[in-house]
A and B are shown apart, each in its own frame.
Chain A
Amino acid sequence: MLTRRSFLALGSALTLTPTWAEISGAGTNRKLYASAFSTPEKKHYFGVIDDNGSILWKNTLPARAHAPVIHPEKAIIGIVSRRPGYFMHFYNLADAQLIKRIEPQKGHHFYGHATFSDDGKNLITQENHYPSGAGKIFIRQWPSGEIIHEYSSNGIGPHESILWQGNTLAIANGGLKTHPNNDREILNRETMEPNLTYLSLENGQPLNKLTHPKEYSQLSIRHLDINRDGIAALGFQYKGDLRDQVPLVALSHISWSDIKYLSMPEDVRIRFKQYCGSVCFDKSGNILAISTPRGGLVAFWDVNSKTYLGLKNCRDVCGIAPTDSSHEFLLSSGTGTLMRYNPIVGSTTMIKKHTNILWDNHLKCLSV
């Protein structure tokens, strides 16, 4: 049996940062998850939890953060500060030590999300060049942080992006022009043009760019996930009237010419309050989960049949991650709840209720 001390010794004996395979070899195949969180006293942390909901380690953050980023090979996890964000912190999972801090270039800020390239040699971020409002994709060499490419995101407000098949980046250009001098105030509400851009990382050129019909121009495309078939699920946040009847969830593919909206019962759509939080496929890639903290629920769809499956109530829920089991998700909420839910069999497993932890927007499963 390994102790914490022997684990740390193992870590230093291996390399400065062990690989996921080395860490997995040190124990069982237990699932770990990462998320930013805050306390009621407004202190901010980045933490790792196990599948019992116990916090394995936490590190203090200088400000509230948004989404974790996981290195594909090394046991390195990072967290991106929330919009307008000015730091990314990266940690060695084994000893919880901060190993790298990356800041944006002058005149830029992060949007809260980032991703590594499949080989782990590059870090990809979405950024706002706020003097112009132009959306940018930066490719940095890992671990040096040196910028090797700077591409246009082909839109304004690139919030989240997902890598597909190694060299294509699906970018949710939310369409919101903001400037840090005005915090998050939307400066172009009437002229928004959100889009989903599939960008070649080889040359920075768009491979496909999908937009809404004109009547949905205020439907900000914010979060996405892609399954193994290349189907991208999109979660929207509507910046128009709360009373407007607009779609909030959709599917896309690099080869499609338009965005295909998913339906849900109107009484459920109303409960979303025009706001989707996280977007997540299950392990099988066929079940889609979309959270709405404003509605206090997660809704589910069968992607192949495009069928709405049902919902799970959970106050202030936002974080979603797939578990090891098909059809099952781990949900995290701002009330401290961690629960597993399987929408096919309707089973709920309450994992833990942390009384003084407010789990932040996004939850990520670690590759352990």
Chain B
Amino acid sequence: MKQLSKYIFLAMSIASPIQASANEWQEPLNGIVNHVIKNGYNNYSASAQKLQNSSYAFCSTPSSQTLTQAKDSFKENTLDWQKIQWLNFGPVTYFMRYYAFEYWPDKKGITQRQLRALTQTDTEAMDAPKFWTSASIAVRGLTAIESLLYHPDFDPINSQKHCDLLKRVTKHHSESANEVSLQWKNASAQDWVFDEEGSGFDKEKAAMELFLQQWIEHMSAVKDAKLETPIGYHGRQNLKLAEFYRSDLSLNSIHENLKAYRKIYHSGSPSLFDIAIKSQPELAKKLEAQLIENQRLALQLPSDFFAPTQEQNEKVTMATPLVKSISLSQSYLTNLVTNLGFQIGFNSRDGD
């Protein structure tokens, strides 16, 4: 069989994609980590603390005015989350924090059901060590806080129990956000890349590759789950599936996501864009133009786009240019990074 192997060998001769040198990815990686992730979690942690403070202030003096202030803090914190939501990587993966920060979609109303059960729980039990870290992810973050502030089942102005629960959820949420922020401050992306012993492993490139994979996946989530699904782009409309629909943040969340995309593209010196423009100028420019177009088209949607004021077909007509644009930017990004030598997932993206 050795002879067989030797003599029926056919050489492979497939052209190599253009590749940047290994160290070239350190700067874009550092840029994204410092400007998008570390700054992002720092802001997110600060606004989570503010949300906790305003929830405590509201509960000490319940009124429609203090409730509005708590809601404003919630909105600020939620929009800070949208800037970093694209990355499920690193410290946020510990203890299911990523899913705890936002439990969405919640098709079965698990958050409501579990919050109602928690309102019957003794506050002493809820203050026990590890109660919240071991609690269901459905009641530990923004989705639960949104329910307590906006859902008609809850009346924190008049119910001490509801306010007690709000205080505890916002406290746990703030602590979690702070822990993730602190962990990022003392670490690098390479710390969370799993080494592949024996394969000439390049940690910077591997980390960058994971970021790019998650960015591409997030584009799908924005297009499919955030935009198409609730308005019934392919089927039945269900506006309650829109992200943060109770607090009317569905569209603003998309705005923040799309802004974050351009920040990812341009962070670092050189940035991914700077490197791409040298070897793949046409594609690099197309992606840049499409990312801007995404933002422009999203801004054209009416502020009440996710409200039940228009017919489904009107919503679909209005959303179509943005759906197509996000889809196109996803294709450009995929082609660009593939041409730059990244493997954005073969079996992992399209297995069976």
Indicate if A334 sits at the interface (CB-CB under 8 A): yes
Contact A353 B199, CB 8 Å, known A1-B3, A58-B10, A360-B347: yes
Q: Is the CB of A313 within 8 A of B194?
A: yes
Q: Which residues of B contact A24 (CB under 8 A)?
A: 1
Q: Identify which of B6, B16, B194, B347 contacts A316 (C-beta below 8 A).
A: B347
Q: Which residues of A contact B196 (CB under 8 A)?
A: 313-315, 337
Indicate if B227 sits at the interface (CB-CB under 8 A): no
Instruction: Report the minimal beta-carbon distance from B107 to chain A, rounded to whole angstroms.
Output: 9
Q: Which residues of B contact A315 (CB under 8 A)?
A: 196, 206, 209, 343, 348
Indicate if A39 sits at the interface (CB-CB under 8 A): yes
Q: Is the CB of B99 within 8 A of A66?
A: no
Q: Identify which of B14, B197, B209, B352 contacts A66 (C-beta below 8 A).
A: B352
Instruction: Report the minimal beta-carbon distance from A361 to chain B, rounded to whole angstroms.
Output: 6
Q: Tell me which of A159, A335, A337, A360 has the highest count of chain B C-beta atoms within 10 A of its own C-beta.
A: A335
Q: Which residues of B contact A314 (CB under 8 A)?
A: 196, 199
Indicate if A259 sits at the interface (CB-CB under 8 A): no
Q: Which chain B residue has the least Cβ–Cβ distance from A112?
A: B352
User: How many of B's residues come within 8 Å of A, CB to CB?
Assistant: 37
Q: Which residues of A contact B352 (CB under 8 A)?
A: 66, 82-83, 112, 159, 184, 222, 361
Instruction: A41 to B13: give the CA distance in the assembly, Å.
Output: 13
Give a binary string over A56-91; 1 marks a CB under 8 Å from any B CB, 0 the rest.
Answer: 111000000010000000000000001100000000
Q: Is the CB of B3 within 8 A of A26?
A: yes
**Residues 85 to 127 of chain A near chain B (Cβ within 8 Å):** 94, 96, 112
Instruction: Report the minimal beta-carbon distance from A12 to chain B, rounded to whole angstroms.
Output: 14
Instruction: Report the minimal beta-carbon distance from B113 to chain A, rounded to whole angstroms.
Output: 15
Instruction: Report the minimal beta-carbon distance from B96 to chain A, rounded to whole angstroms.
Output: 7
Instruction: A147 to B7: give the CA distance in the assembly, Å.
Output: 38
Q: Tell me which of B8, B206, B345 has the highest count of chain A C-beta atoms within 10 A of its own C-beta.
A: B8
Instruction: Report the minimal beta-carbon distance from B143 to chain A, rounded to whole angstroms.
Output: 12
Indicate if A203 sits at the interface (CB-CB under 8 A): no
Q: Is the CB of A55 within 8 A of B9?
A: yes
**Residues 201 to 230 of chain B near chain A (Cβ within 8 Å):** 206, 209
Q: Which residues of B contact A334 (CB under 8 A)?
A: 343, 345-348
Q: Which residues of B contact A318 (CB under 8 A)?
A: 347, 351
Give a binary string over B129-147; 1 marks a CB under 8 Å from any A CB, 0 the rest.
Answer: 0000000010000000000
Identify the stretch in A136-144, A248-256, A281-289, A292-300 within 8 Å (CB) of chain B at 4 or more residues.
A292-300
Indicate if A192 sits at the interface (CB-CB under 8 A): no
Q: Is the CB of B4 within 8 A of A56?
A: yes
Indicate if B152 sits at the interface (CB-CB under 8 A): no
Indicate if A132 sits at the interface (CB-CB under 8 A): no
Q: Which residues of B contact A55 (CB under 8 A)?
A: 9-10, 12
Q: Identify which of A52, A56, A316 contacts B10 (C-beta below 8 A).
A: A56
Indicate if A23 sits at the interface (CB-CB under 8 A): yes
Identify the stretch in A28-36, A226-234, A301-309 within 8 Å (CB) of chain B at 4 or more residues.
A28-36
Indicate if A333 sits at the interface (CB-CB under 8 A): yes
15 contacts between A and B (CB under 8 A): A2-B7, A5-B7, A7-B7, A57-B10, A58-B12, A159-B352, A222-B352, A293-B346, A315-B196, A315-B348, A349-B198, A353-B200, A359-B347, A361-B347, A368-B1
Residues on B lying within 8 angstroms of A by beta carbon are 1-10, 12, 14-17, 93, 96, 99, 103, 137, 194-200, 206, 209, 338, 343, 345-348, 351-352
Residues on A lying within 8 angstroms of B by beta carbon are 1-5, 7, 23-24, 26-30, 32, 38-41, 50, 52, 54-58, 66, 82-83, 94, 96, 112, 159, 184, 222, 242-243, 270, 275, 277, 293-294, 296-297, 313-318, 333-335, 337, 339, 348-350, 353-361, 368
Known: A318-B347, A359-B347. 5 other contacts (CB 8 A): A7-B4, A27-B4, A57-B8, A222-B352, A334-B343
